[in-house]
């Protein structure tokens, strides 16, 4: 057995899980899909004293769509959300993004909420949440709160979640028909963590861009919005190639980058520019990609 | 099995394995694939990387393929598990196995159980089995012998024989 010893709890109710979390705090880890946590345990990069397995809590398995939003419970798997999103045109970005999450066997078990809770800067789900302006639902014994995704990611593996809180759901507000979305990532092999990726959304009204969201992953220490590039796009025509080129240049020059030993800052910047150019070109036509 | 130290905690589980109900007392940190192999003798599920990268430990839990190394045995309590042994016996993999044999889609065979189970899930899922889709479906299963070409051929052939 590779993980260090731990105490294991598999509560049937959220109340029990939250009581355990309150009692154990930093010593506890929530186990949802476990597709990141289990390798970390096996490699002993994590050695929590106690695991709280939330897979037996039926209420966390719910995937609910209303006219306003899609609410994804903490135990909804990537594959379930992908199946739902692939069947509905307004969730095209969710589908495009989740198709690139690891491999089928991992998507069958791993969860978008877990990926958001972990906050790996190279993962797709956190950037997807930012691009769709999602809300994160957190619960603790002190009560529930809803936090805007823009305030949630603080750095590598660092979020606004308190030690006694857990994510119970994430909700994606349904985008209007005037939004078009695009997605692309660059990885060395299919299913690998991206070297860089982009989730993009443009709200286009009467041929003018009213709002733009360009969210990079694998580039900075958290999902990064390219503020300058977004500002350049607003008010412009998505079919204007010069405008798109200026936006790509701004994304390349101004995005906040954390380089690694393997991939330097200049290369990440280059990728940010390339991705912006490619995705915006596809969004020039209504419908997007 | 490691010497159960005083901080080792145990649980009783009941799991349906290849159609048979199995009860066991296991350490909570034991992975599902280690339990299947080391405790039940079902050594067809292979342990490669032990952190979710290689896909050799793929098993079917409640109808979906997943990594046997990324799930704890204790989490399978109450679940239904199918391994390569069960899927072979039931005949579910027959067309794929024949195609793998005919096309020599294996050399050492280490990845083959995971390849077969993953390919079966893909073919049963109803997506059009073109070569790109097959490659994508198998992207989480590593083979270090064949270069994949023969495996993709075999899955395509099995898809074709299903259609007939």
Query: pLDDT tens, B43-95?
Result: 999 999 999 999 999 999 999 999 999 999 999 999 999 999 999 999 999 99
SS3 A154: strand
Are A38 and B139 in contact (CB < 8 Å)? no
Three-state DSSP class for residue B110: coil
Q: Is pLDDT of A141 > 90?
A: yes
Kindly tell me if the per-residue pLDDT of B18 is higher than 80. yes
A156 has a pLDDT exceeding 50: yes
Mutate to test the interface with B, among A8, A105, A192 (most CBs of B within 10 A): A105
Please report where in the chains the tokens 């990268």 appear, as a residue.
B53
Share of chain B above pLDDT 70, in %: 96
Cα B119 to Cα B143: distance, rounded to the nearest angstrom? 14
Distances (CA, A) of A32 to A17, A220, B90: 12, 26, 31
How large is the ipTM? 0.94
pLDDT score at B164? 64
Output the pLDDT for position A285: 80
Q: Please state the rounded mean pLDDT for residues B15-31.
A: 98
pLDDT at A192: 85
The model carries a pTM of: 0.95
Q: Which of A284, A203, A200 is nearest to A238 (CA)?
A: A284
Q: CA A207, CA A123: separation in Å to the nearest integer?
A: 32
Q: Does residue A213 surpass a pLDDT of 70?
A: yes
Residue B162 has pLDDT above 80, yes or no: no
Q: Which of B42, B84, B90, B77 lies closest to B60 in space, CA to CA?
A: B84
pLDDT score recorded for residue B6: 63
Report chain B residues whose CB lies below 8 A from the CB of A38: 31, 51-52, 69-72
Could you report the per-residue pLDDT of B100-159, keeping only the tens digit for each?
Answer: 999 999 999 999 999 999 999 999 999 999 999 999 999 999 999 999 999 999 999 999
Residue B155 to residue B159: CA distance in whole angstroms: 6
**Mean pLDDT calculated for residue range A136-155:** 98
pLDDT of B2 reads: 47
Q: Give yes or no for residue B14 having a pLDDT over 60.
A: yes
Residue A261: band (very low, low, confident or very high) from pLDDT cuts 50, 70, 90: confident
Average the pLDDT over A61-73 and give the result. 98
Indicate whether A289 pLDDT > 60.
no
pLDDT, position A1: 75
The dihedral built from the CA positions of residue B134, A34, A187 and B150, taken in this order, carries a sign that is negative
No. of H helices and E strands in chain A?
10, 14
Confidence of residue A189 (pLDDT cuts 50, 70, 90): confident
Q: Which tokens belong to A243?
A: 């405008």
Beta bridge partners of A172: A70
Put simply, the answer to whether B71 touches A43 (Cβ < 8 Å) is no
B31 DSSP 8-state letter: B
Asked whether the predicted pLDDT for residue A278 surpasses 50, the reply is yes
What integer is the mean pLDDT of A43-48? 95
Q: How far is B54 from chain A (nearest CA, A)?
A: 10
More confident residue, B1 or A135: A135
pLDDT of residue B161: 87
CB-CB under 8 Å, B75 with A10: yes
Q: Is the pLDDT of residue A47 over 60?
A: yes
A10 with B141: Cβ contact below 8 A: no
Whether pLDDT at A196 is above 60: yes
Taking CA B53 as the corner, what is the angle to CA A128 and CA B115, rounded to the nearest 5 degrees?
110
Contacts of B9 in chain A (CB under 8 A): 5-8
Q: Would the CB atoms of A43 and B34 count as touching at under 8 Å?
A: no
Q: Which residues of A touch B141 (CB under 8 A)?
A: 103
Percent of chain A with pLDDT over 70: 99
**What band does B3 get if pLDDT is binned at 50, 70 and 90?**
low
| DSSP per position, B49-95 | SSSSSS-TTEEEETTEEEETTSSBGGGGTT-EEE-HHHHHHHTTTHH
Say if the Cβ atoms of B75 and A105 lie within 8 Å. Answer: no
Partners of residue A42 in chain B, C-beta under 8 Å: 31, 50-51, 69
**Statement: residue B1 has pLDDT above 50:** no
pLDDT of B5 strictly over 60 = no
Nearest-10 Cα torsion for B66, B68, B72, B73: 110
Cα dihedral sign, A68-A74-A80-A82: positive
Secondary structure E strands in chain A: 7-9, 28-31, 50-53, 63-65, 69-73, 135-140, 143-148, 153-155, 158-159, 166-173, 179-186, 196-205, 208-217, 224-225
Number of Cβ pairs closer than 8 Å across A and B? 96
Question: For residue A242, how many other CB atoms are within 10 A of its CB?
Answer: 9
């Amino acid at each position: 057995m590779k993980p260090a010893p731990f105490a294991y709890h598999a509560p049937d109710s959220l109340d029990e899980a939250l009581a355990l979390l309150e009692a154990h705090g930093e010593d506890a880890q929530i186990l949802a899909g476990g597709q990141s946590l289990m390798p970390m345990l096996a490699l002993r990069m994590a050695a929590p004293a106690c695991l709280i397995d939330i897979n037996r809590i039926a209420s966390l398995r719910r995937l609910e769509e209303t006219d306003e939003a899609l609410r994804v419970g903490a135990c909804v798997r990537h594959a379930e959300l992908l199946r739902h999103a692939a069947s509905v045109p307004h969730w095209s970005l969710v589908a495009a993004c989740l198709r690139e999450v690891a491999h089928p066997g991992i998507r069958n078990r791993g969860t978008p909420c877990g990926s958001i809770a972990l906050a790996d800067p190279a993962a797709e789900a956190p950037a997807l949440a930012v691009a769709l302006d999602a809300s994160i639902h957190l619960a603790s014994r002190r009560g529930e709160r809803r936090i805007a995704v823009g305030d949630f990611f603080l750095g590598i593996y660092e979020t606004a979640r308190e030690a006694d809180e857990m994510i119970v759901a994430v909700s994606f507000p349904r985008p209007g028909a005037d939004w078009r979305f695009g997605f692309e990532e660059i990885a060395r092999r299919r299913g690998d963590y991206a070297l860089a990726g982009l989730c993009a959304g443009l709200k286009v009204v009467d041929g003018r861009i009213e709002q733009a969201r360009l969210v990079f992953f694998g580039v900075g220490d958290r999902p990064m919005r390219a503020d300058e590039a977004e500002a350049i796009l607003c008010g412009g025509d998505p079919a204007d190639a010069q405008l798109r080129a200026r936006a790509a240049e701004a994304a390349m020059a101004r995005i906040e980058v954390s380089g690694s030993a393997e991939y330097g800052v200049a290369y990440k910047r280059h990728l940010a520019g390339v991705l912006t150019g490619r995705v915006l070109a596809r969004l020039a036509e209504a419908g997007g990609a | 099995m490691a010497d159960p130290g005083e901080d080792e905690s145990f649980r009783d589980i009941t799991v349906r394995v290849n159609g048979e109900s199995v009860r066991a007392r296991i350490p909570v940190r034991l992975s599902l694939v280690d339990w299947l192999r080391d405790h039940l003798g079902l050594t067809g599920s292979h342990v490669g990387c032990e952190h979710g990268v290689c896909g050799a430990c793929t098993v079917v839990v409640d109808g979906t393929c997943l990594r046997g190394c990324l799930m704890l045995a204790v989490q399978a309590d109450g679940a239904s598990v199918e391994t390569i042994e069960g899927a072979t016996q039931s005949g579910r993999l027959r067309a794929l196995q024949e195609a793998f044999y005919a096309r020599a889609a294996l050399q050492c065979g280490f990845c083959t159980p995971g390849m077969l189970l993953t390919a079966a899930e893909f073919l049963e899922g109803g997506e059009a089995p073109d070569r790109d889709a097959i490659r994508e479906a198998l992207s989480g299963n590593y083979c270090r012998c064949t270069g994949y070409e023969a495996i993709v051929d075999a899955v395509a052939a099995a898809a074709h024989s299903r259609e007939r």
